[in-house]
Chain A
Amino acid sequence: MQDMNLTGLFIDLMGRLGLNYEFLATGYEAQIWRDGFITTLYLVAVTIPVSLIVGLIFAACLTSGRLWLSAPVRGFVELTRNTPTLVQLMFSFLVLNTVVSNMVGGAQNNPLSPFFWVVAVVGLHVAALHAEAIRGGIEAVPSSMIEAARGMGFSQFEILRYVQIPLAFRSSLPAIVNGLISLVKSTTVGNAIAVSEITYASIMVWTQRDNVVEMMIVLLAFFSLINFVVARVGSWVERRLAIPGYGL
């Protein structure tokens, strides 16, 4: 009841300012809208780690010196960097997803949801950006340091794990944070394949209510807030990992 009163108060207050948030008092639209926030946050929370882990693996492949690892990743990175995410998503959902459906004997057996495809496409797209940044950092580790590690009996993987990635991650952190900020924004492509994230939900509401401005205000504030948090966490990590006396 307390909740209803607060909502009512908010609607009333906004109404006096000329802003129409009356849909909040309805069950259905308000529910879609609230779920939209949750879906977007959920998308962001899942896609960020996916992009980081895949980005790291991509960077490792690119710098492995093995053509069978680097060539396919290089091809993928170029493709994904140079084509629109929206087109990639359409292609994945309309073509790849259909192929999967046919393979498993019909769409009803296909476990891959539109949500999955947004995570995969946006996650891999941003992973490609991360990979380029991390690759630069890996290649910047002086060859004499790598030889010293080899001389102590480090394997190529152990050098990557204990020396190159820790250094490369630090030097590429600013670029990675930029990638994550664009990741947050890119999750909105989900609305093209009916993933009910916040833009999709907002469009649903404003087509019924004709309150585009009101929905936009919240939408912009919401994404600004998420990315504010991403940037703050980024600079916190940067400070945590800063190496005393080292000019990275």
Chain B
Amino acid sequence: MTASTDAAIVKLEDVHLSFGQTQVLKGIDLTINKGDAVSIIGPSGSGKSTILRCINALVTPQSGKITVAGTRVDQLTKESERIQLRKRVGIVFQQYNLFPHLTVLDNIVLAPIKILGADKTATVKLARELLEKVRLSEKADAYPGQLSGGQQQRVAIARALAMKPELVLFDEVTSALDPETVGEVLWVIRDLIRDGMTSILVTHEMRFAEEISDTVVFTENGRIVDHGSPQQIFHSTNNPRIRQFVGGLSGGGRGAVRDGEGI
């Protein structure tokens, strides 16, 4: 329990994980301090999503230590204990995954009320505040199917925040969006980070990562190849793979990157 006394809110130590024969994480070490924003970048299949899933106990590694907000995640044996952890760690995915049969407001209040047992009136009030924050107050009674992708993703972020998480994980939350709507989602995340929310983002938005991150982590083939300040990773790295990756992405015509900066 000493882990909770220092500033680290997430600590991974030599985490190894395989799916069957496939080694996906081959010794991940990562420390994230409270209030930090960390971006994880790297090629497809390098294990970025798997790192996030380890942090909120959606998958369990074969070996290594994972400490999240004072909890030794790798030592949790019961599903009920993992559920307790997940309630404290928000995660937002590429496919917004709103519940299609519930209104925007009900999507946000369902888990706090039914899963956390939070007070209904207070939760509805919180949900309306969060909707305001993501600039969707007027959509409270709409259904997900009536919203654009960007709007749905902002609701998904509000839904995660309604659980009052201690940190939030974002897994390529803009990758499924039209270029025009990427900006509005990044805007919401930027605000959140400015408010001091501990955030871990897997992203392909290099400009955005550079702008908002305290630390950038580059993964390749199940390992963290390098990590450092955005300046280091994006501009002064000697690692040719990172240069190629970063250059390839921001130079290549990903409209999303352009839109990411334009707000």
Could you tell me which A residues sit within 8 Å of B by CB distance?
142, 144-145, 147-156, 158, 162-163, 166-167, 170, 241, 243-248
> In the complex, what's the smallest C-beta–C-beta distance from B114 to chain A, in angstroms?
6
- The answer for the CA separation of A86 and B97 in the assembled complex, in Å, is 46
> In the complex, what's the smallest C-beta–C-beta distance from A166 to chain B, in angstroms?
5
- The answer for the CA separation of A145 and B159 in the assembled complex, in Å, is 13
- Is there an interface contact between A152 and B101, defined as CB atoms closer than 8 Å? no
A153-B111 contact, Cβ under 8 Å, with A244-B143, A244-B145, A246-B143:
yes
- Is there an interface contact between A163 and B99, defined as CB atoms closer than 8 Å? yes
**At the interface with chain A, which of B2-10, B21-29, B83-91, B249-257?**
B83-91
What are the residues of chain B within 8 A of A150 when measuring CB–CB? 58, 86
25 residue pairs from A and B, CB less than 8 Å apart:
A142-B95, A144-B95, A144-B97, A145-B95, A147-B97, A148-B91, A148-B97, A150-B86, A151-B56, A153-B111, A153-B115, A155-B79, A162-B99, A162-B110, A162-B114, A166-B101, A167-B100, A167-B101, A243-B101, A243-B145, A244-B143, A244-B146, A246-B101, A246-B143, A246-B145
- The answer for the CA separation of A79 and B141 in the assembled complex, in Å, is 46
Q: Pick from B58, B100, B114, B115 the residue with the most CB of A within 10 Å.
A: B100
What are the residues of chain A within 8 A of B163 when measuring CB–CB? 152-153
- Is there an interface contact between B83 and A155, defined as CB atoms closer than 8 Å? yes
A151-B86 contact, Cβ under 8 Å, with A163-B99, A243-B101, A246-B100:
yes
What are the residues of chain B within 8 A of A245 when measuring CB–CB? 142-147
- Is there an interface contact between A158 and B100, defined as CB atoms closer than 8 Å? no
A243-B160 contact, Cβ under 8 Å, with A148-B93, A153-B86, A162-B110:
no
Q: How many A-B residue pairs have CB under 8 A?
A: 83
Tell me the count of chain B residues lying within 8 A, CB to CB, of chain A.
Answer: 31
- The answer for the CA separation of A223 and B160 in the assembled complex, in Å, is 51
- Is there an interface contact between B114 and A158, defined as CB atoms closer than 8 Å? yes
Interface string of B71-90 (1 = CB under 8 A from A): 00000000110011011001
- The answer for the CA separation of A245 and B100 in the assembled complex, in Å, is 9
Q: Which positions 20-57 of chain B face chain A at CB distance < 8 Å?
A: 56
> In the complex, what's the smallest C-beta–C-beta distance from B95 to chain A, in angstroms?
5
- Is there an interface contact between B115 and A158, defined as CB atoms closer than 8 Å? yes
- The answer for the CA separation of A229 and B114 in the assembled complex, in Å, is 35
